[in-house]
Structures are given as C-alpha cells and as structure tokens.
Structure 1
Amino acid sequence: MTGRIAGIARHAFSKGPMETIDHVRVTLEGGIAGDFRGAMKGKPYKRQVSLMEAGDWDAAMAEIGHSIPWEQRRANLLVEGLDLPQIVGARLHIGADVVLEVRDETNPCERMEALAEGLRAALTPDWRGGVLTMVIRPGEIAVGDPIRIEQ
C-alpha cells in the first residue's frame, strides 16, 4: 500500500513557530533541514522526523469540535492514504531515496491541551499522535511524494 506526503513542516528553535514548506532535504545528521528536533543529540535519541496521519488529525479535530491546522500538532510530515506502522523498527520509504525507521510513538504533550481542551486525550489512543523516526537514508522529499512501508 502506498500513501502520499500531504504536508511538510519544521521549526527552527524550541517552541518556535511551525513553517510549512513544499520540499526539503532530509539528512542523516539533522533530519528535516532547518528543523530544531532533527539535529538534537542524546541517548537514546529517537526523534529526528515525526509523522502523523491526516485521518488521525481529522478524527481528533472531530472529537474535540475544532479545526486547527495540522502543523500545530508540530509533526514534520503529514501522511495521507497510509496507516503508519505501530512497530518499532518498521521502515518507511519516501520519494526516490529517503528511508526512515520508526523508533517510537509520538506522545502528545501539554502543548496540545493549550491549543484546545481535550486535544491531548484525543491524540493519545492507538498512536494517533503519530510516530517518531530516525533517518536511515537521506535525500530530497516533496509534498505529493509517495510513502510506503518497506517490506
């Protein structure tokens, strides 16, 4: 099954505003170019690139009765048409070159509750908050690129 990248976002510093972009370089050292989280170090670090499903965001919005732009979730990539794997070690292939490896679930933080009451809880079940990944193979990605689970 193949989905597509529906959005790309990044933030240059901690708690900084999210910037949506159409295309970006993904590197082994820094994740999404220009994104604060991708270059962070630490052990174990498992948060270079975060992804979330558009359908999960829509479901959370419906549950709380709001319409907040997806990038306010602070995820790097918005995915349509693909159920992201909920298995550590699963690999995602994006566009021609990029490969990401799932390292963990994205646990919604208190910032989600600041956006809208109930949002943190709405993003909690069934990995609805998204997945955290590390870059295995770098390259360029763009909105519209295919994304699939590597077998």
Structure 2
Amino acid sequence: MSGTVTAVSSNDAYSFTKPNRDRVTLLTGLGVEGDVHAGVTVKHRSRVAQDPTQPNLRQVHLIQEELFDELREAGFEVAPGDLGENVTTRGIDLLALPVGTRLHLGHEVVVEVTGLRNPCLQIDHFQGGLLKQVVGRDEAGAVVRKAGIMSVVAVGGVVRPGDPVKAELPAQPHRPLERV
C-alpha cells in the first residue's frame, strides 16, 4: 500500500483546525515539533482530564484526503488541516490499516499506527452536521469512525507535501484499529 502526503499541518495552540505548513518536523517519541499535542504523555484535553500520566498514543493525526471528497459530495467544505490533522494523505486507505502498521513518510520518517481518532462534538461546532458524516454505523450496527488515524513517531525527520507514503504491515495476526 502506498500513497502521497498532500498536506502537513501543526499548531502551537489549542484550536480545532491546524494551519498548513511547507513542512513539519516529527520528533521520535514526541510528535510534531511545536504542535500542542506533542509529548510523551497525553496532551488531548479530554484524555488529560482522565489521567495526565497516560502515554501519548495520539502524537500524529493522519487523515486520508479522500474523506474530504466524500464530505464535499455531502455538501461540506473541508480542507487539509481543518479537522486538526497533522498529515493529510491520498492514495492509501488509512482506515483499513491494522494496529502496528509502520507508515514511512518521505525518505526518513516512520510513524506507527496506534488506532482511530475518536471524533468529538467540536466537529459540529466547526460545521453543523459534520459529526454524523465522520461517525456512523455499518449494516451490522457497528460504529464506523472515518476521522483519521493516530500514531506515534518511531523515527523522526521532516515531512513535506508531495512526499511518498508507504505502509509496512505488522506480523500476523493483524489487530483491527480501535479508537485511542
């Protein structure tokens, strides 16, 4: 499985969206340099409120740009960085990857997939009705989350739009993604 990085985003303050950048630097074991969610322990406000000593399994948030195409067809305008992701990709089905997949971003960076982003009500504050578009149920009634995946930085370095993305699957048996 392979694709391309189409945008990179970061923000040093808590806000829902993240501005696009020419490049971001990922720091091993920490996340995106200068991003409010970087760190060894959890930085997301809801997680900090539960237990601030939890390991940060949400260092880097990735979304596949194909989601924006789907949302546009449903009448929503969403661009890279709007949903708070750090890396936007195209051509690789991020949601189908198993836990432990190593994503090679560019020629040096490696992130390890930890799970699915669990979208919150802030999405509806961004655009009313958007939450129902990124969280739904399948035919069997199981919850389907489409707002991207979370990862930790295994090997740091610089990531830029246009960089290749290549998935390295973990050994079998594969564990499906769950919310983190």
Same fold (TM over 0.5): yes
The structure with more radius of gyration: 2
TM-score (norm 2): 0.77
- Partner SS state of residue 114, structure 2: strand
8 Å contact kept, 2:116–2:150: yes
- Partner SS state of residue 103, structure 1: strand
Equivalent residue, structure 2, for 1:66: 76
Equivalent residue, structure 2, for 1:78: 88
- Alpha-carbon offset, residue 68 of structure 1: 2.8
8 Å contact kept, 1:27–1:33: yes
- Alpha-carbon offset, residue 69 of structure 1: 2.4
Equivalent residue, structure 2, for 1:135: 153
Equivalent residue, structure 2, for 1:37: 37
Distance in 1, matches of 2:27 and 2:18, equals: 19
Q: 78-87 or 92-101, which moves further after superposition?
A: 78-87
Among candidates 79, 93, 97, match of residue 108 of structure 2: 97
Equivalent residue, structure 1, for 2:63: 52
Distance in 2, matches of 1:47 and 1:101, equals: 10
**Structure 2 letter corresponding to 1:105:** L
Distance in 2, matches of 1:44 and 1:25, equals: 20
Distance in 1, matches of 2:7 and 2:146, equals: 17
Equivalent residue, structure 2, for 1:23: 23
Percent identical: 27
**Structure 1 letter corresponding to 2:84:** R
Distance in 2, matches of 1:70 and 1:118, equals: 19
Higher helix share: 1
8 Å contact kept, 2:9–2:24: no
Q: Let me know the Cα RMSD of the aligned residues.
A: 1.7
- Partner SS state of residue 135, structure 1: strand
Mind listing any 5+ residue stretches in structure 2 that lack a counterpart? 42-52, 137-143, 170-180
Mind listing any 5+ residue stretches in structure 1 that lack a counterpart? none
The runs of 4+ residues in structure 1 deviating greater than 6 Å are none
- Partner SS state of residue 114, structure 1: helix
TM-score (norm 1): 0.90
8 Å contact kept, 1:5–1:146: yes
- Alpha-carbon offset, residue 60 of structure 1: 2.4
**Structure 1 letter corresponding to 2:22:** D
8 Å contact kept, 2:62–2:87: yes
8 Å contact kept, 1:31–1:134: yes
User: How many residues matched?
Assistant: 150
**Structure 2 letter corresponding to 1:116:** Q
